[in-house]
Structure 1
């Protein structure tokens, strides 16, 4: 009985969320891009009042930096000290 209810629940979730999956992924990607811009803002020359707190996040963001700057339409890395290409 529990397995059937789980299968029904999964099916209904797929039925309702399936058509909007691309929109959800696009919204999540846009949110990640904004977060990346906030964290990397100081390195890009944008004044950031919270730069002290975002310094801790830089090592995590470096792994995703290449994908981000390519998605933003930049051929090369905009940060002088960071060459990922």
Structure 2
């Protein structure tokens, strides 16, 4: 009987500590969530421009190496060009719209 009571108290204490931990995480991380998402989006945009630079007409001395990354960006290409304000695909050989 005492072992069951101890187990229940441990579980209750564990749940309370988890709630405190989650609350503190939200308190400290919450205000910066939008900033971090915006920075990640900006980094993704820069990466997309670096990979697609040659196709967009920007001379790229590392085009041979960035061509290997093209399959990684194809699925996000449509959302990217719409987000930066280009209504139709800027590439002649890719018609995603």
TM-score (norm 2): 0.79
In the alignment, structure 1 residue 55 sits paired with structure 2 residue 67: yes
Aligned to 2:55: 43
Q: Show structure 1 runs of 5+ residues with no match.
A: none
Choose between structure 1 and 2 for higher RCO, CA contacts under 8 A separated by at least 6 residues. 1
TM-score (norm 1): 0.89
Using the alignment, how far apart are the partners of 1:8 and 1:47 within structure 2? 53
Give, in angstroms, the shift of residue 52 of structure 1: 1.2
Aligned length: 85
Aligned to 1:14: 26
What is the RMSD of the two structures over their aligned residues, measured on CA atoms? 1.4
Q: Show structure 2 runs of 5+ residues with no match.
A: 1-12
CA displacement 1:10-66 (0-9 Å, x = unmatched): 321211110111111111001100000000001000111211111111011110000
Greater gyration radius: 2
